[in-house]
Amino acid sequence: MTGPVQGIPGEGDEGQTPGVVRGGTFVSLAELDERAGKASSGLCSLGVSPGDTIALLLRNDHAFFEASFAAATVGAAPVPINWHSSAEEVTYVLGDAKASVLVAHADLLRGVRSAVPTGTTVLGVETPSEVAAAFGVPGSQRSVPGDIAKWSDWLEGYDPIAEPSAANPLSMIYTSGTTGRPKGVRRLPGADDAEQAADYMVDVARVLGLAPGMRTVITGPMYHTAPNAYAMTAARLCGGYLVLQNRFDPEELLALIERHRITSVHMVPTMFVRLLRLPADVRDRYDLSSLVHVVHAAAPCPVEVKRAMIDWLGPIVHEYYGGTETGAVVGCTSEEWLTHSGTVGRTLATCTVRILDDEGATGPVGEPGEVFMRAGGFPDFTYEGLSQARADVERQGLFTCGDIGYLDSDGFLHLCDRVRDMIISGGVNIYPAEVEACLLTLPGIADCAVFGIPDPEYGEAVAAAIELAAGANVTKGEIEAHVREHLAGFKVPTLIEFHDRLPREDSGKMFKRRLRAPHWEQAGRAI
């Protein structure tokens, strides 16, 4: 095992100093808290008050924690924005969330600055050299523009806030639905039953491997729900030692686990695939004996991939299922999964899961239906400004993420399909209606359908079926360029098919199943 690196307290010794490591820079939690306290005073000076929102356009960095902590201290909800988003998408989120402040890395800010609504205060964060290197950011774009206040200098002008707000809201993550427009999931004040809330947290901590003094690598971007909640909990509640990976690299992760003696890590199945693709001698090169808990979620995990991970790491691989709206509701250990192959877990003690048919009746054991759930003890939610959308996903006091599944005779949940057409690629939600709306703005496209197809690495990839207008001549390259101009790059279809006529019924409903089926059947997988 490699020895401790000089200048990073806590690395290589049992008596760790809680804090966050990015590259060669360590910042203790005490210092992060102090800087967040100063920033909270600064936010108050800008008129930020309980119930407001603070937007974060940041890669994984110390400033992400400082801004999140500061917002929560004044009772405002941090709103992480997917930094792959186009300027149009950023504008929408800032406006919909009514964000009074935007904290952004310098290079990301340059691409969206003109899209920031009037009245939103912008604070710039210098893009760290390691982050710039990881994402190919030119040195000239790392610095904060001269007319924008620099985060680190700005917060030093204030003393820590004297009276923190009683409210301490969780991040408001933007997710999307079949309308294609992102929806902000605003967490309402804490659960009414404090005892139930405490019991829920015990269950979640067990499943996710959250423990006092934990040592973890944050492998995914914190604009996603799971990495965000995992990182904030590990830091704020567990007093942990966190290592930020700029972007996922399988061998680097193994090296970080060995170097920092990591105990717990949260991943998605795509990461499992990439780790398993490493040659055996490379995987065997690293000492992973400190690792006691690996947990995954966010996308379906192929049975053969999950089994291979357990064979490699031992029975330390855990899984859970839930959603941004609901929190985790089921979970399972390696032993439970091995005896219930393909399950995503059993209902946690304070939670409820029901399989309902179209009439709202509970189906028999083993019979697929729509999965409705609720985590007792987890704060309720609303969609920002969209009360009807909130009502649309609720039945009998439970909520659905649009999945179809069944409960087996032992109460383990198995997922088998999705009601909605959402695509999950590498753990990232992609919503076809948004891509379709974009495609239909390209002259020459008469009709289109976007759907998910199997992908051996990412689980699913984006496919688009196109019907051209009479006499039109639109190329695949033009379609790709058009989507890339208006949407994030990961939403660009990887497969584009041209059809003389797309299969719509008279009512206007698209028979997407007919388009998807050949791809899934060819891969030997049901849809």
Give the rounded percent of residues in the chain with a pLDDT score beyond 70.
Answer: 94
**Nearest CA-CA partner of 59 in 248, 326, 292, 332:** 248
Output Rg (C-alpha) for the chain, integer angstroms.
23
Mean pLDDT, residues 487-512: 85
Residue 214 contacts residue 264 (beta carbons within 8 Å):
yes
What kind of fold does domain 25-169 have according to CATH? Answer: Rossmann fold (3.40.50)
Q: Domain segments of the chain: what residues? A: 25-169, 423-522
| pLDDT per residue as tens digits for the range 242-252 | 999 999 999 99
Residue 101 contacts residue 500 (beta carbons within 8 Å):
no
| pLDDT per residue as tens digits for the range 60-74 | 999 999 999 999 999
Distance separating the N- and C-terminal Cα atoms of the chain: 45
Q: What is the DSSP string of 169-192?
A: PPP-EEEE-TTSSEEEEEEPSPPS
At the top level of CATH, which class does the domain 423-522 belong to? alpha beta
> What phi and psi values does residue 268 have, to the nearest 5 degrees?
-120, 160
Average pLDDT for the chain: 90
Q: Which helix (H) or strand (E) holds 67?
A: helix 62-73
pLDDT at 434: 83
Q: Is the pLDDT of residue 261 over 90?
A: yes
pLDDT at 483: 96
The pLDDT-based confidence of 169 (bands split at 50, 70, 90) is confident
Whole-prediction pTM: 0.83
pLDDT at 15: 46
Give the rounded percent of residues in the chain with a pLDDT score beyond 90.
Answer: 71
Q: Is the pLDDT of residue 115 over 90?
A: no
- Token readout for 459 is 């689980």
The conformation of residue 160, written as its DSSP 8-state character, comes to: P
